[in-house]
Amino acid sequence: MSNTNFQRYERDDAFFYKELLEENPNAFTFLYQQTHQQCIPFALTKGSEIEEAEDILQECLAIFIVKLRNREYTWQANAKITSYFYRIYINQWKKQIDQKSKLPTLSLQQDFNQYKDEKENNFKETEGEISIDKVDVGYENHEREWIFVQLEKAFRTLKEDCQKMLSLFYVEELSLKLIAEQLKITEASATLKRFRCAKYLRESFKPKNQN
């Protein structure tokens, strides 16, 4: 992007909004750079890891694009676009922190990685039922058994499209770009879908004290 475009987007929010509506790649590049400078330091100072902070930023970009396309967000002269985006980021960061506090010690991604690595040893699936042969050390046996069984149950409650999305991302470890190509959707839509499906799984994966 040229310095001229940078400067015009920075001083002319109305023009910046118009370029975003037209989905000009330069406008989205500028939005990403500006919000990255603003949002990532916020998350890091609150104790988030850099990868987590950037994941939330990608989620917020997808959310913002959807709001933009649906005209749920329209530019107002008294509020900068980046300020509006920053509020989205703070809200999503708070939601993620709340969700993490409700999960067992293992994170969702760790659960999926262990589920992938140990599925053949730990599970036998017959007619939709699961039996557990053994559980490796690390957690107490009954704790790991409970985690895997509950994760599998929660996964089975998801709609088929969400199961496919999470399997492609966490088990096959495909990039969101490749997933978008497979599902024939945009990368932004794939990003949003991944977070939504992960949220549905978290909501179904209840801690013991809620059972």
- The pLDDT of residue 39 is above 50: yes
User: What would the mean pLDDT of 172-177 be, rounded to a whole number?
Assistant: 84
- The pLDDT of residue 115 is above 90: no
Closest CA to 177 of 162, 188, 163: 188
Topology given in CATH for the domain delimited by 3-101:
Rna Polymerase Sigma Factor; Chain: A (1.10.1740)
Task: For the chain, give every domain's residue range.
Answer: 3-101, 108-210
Q: 120-172, pLDDT tens digit by residue?
A: 444 434 333 333 333 343 445 555 566 667 777 788 888 888 889 888 888 88
Q: 60-104, pLDDT tens digit by residue?
A: 888 888 888 888 899 998 889 999 999 999 998 988 777 666 544
148: exposed, middle or buried (Cβ count in 10 Å: 0-12, 13-18, 19+): buried
Question: What is the residue whose two structure tokens read 């330091």?
Answer: 41
CATH classification code of 108-210: 1.10.10.10
DSSP 128: T
Helices (H) and strands (E) in the chain, counts: 10, 2
Q: How far is CA 187 from CA 40, 65, 168, 180, 184, in A?
A: 21, 11, 14, 5, 9
- Contact between 121 and 133 (Cβ < 8 Å): yes
- Contact between 130 and 149 (Cβ < 8 Å): yes
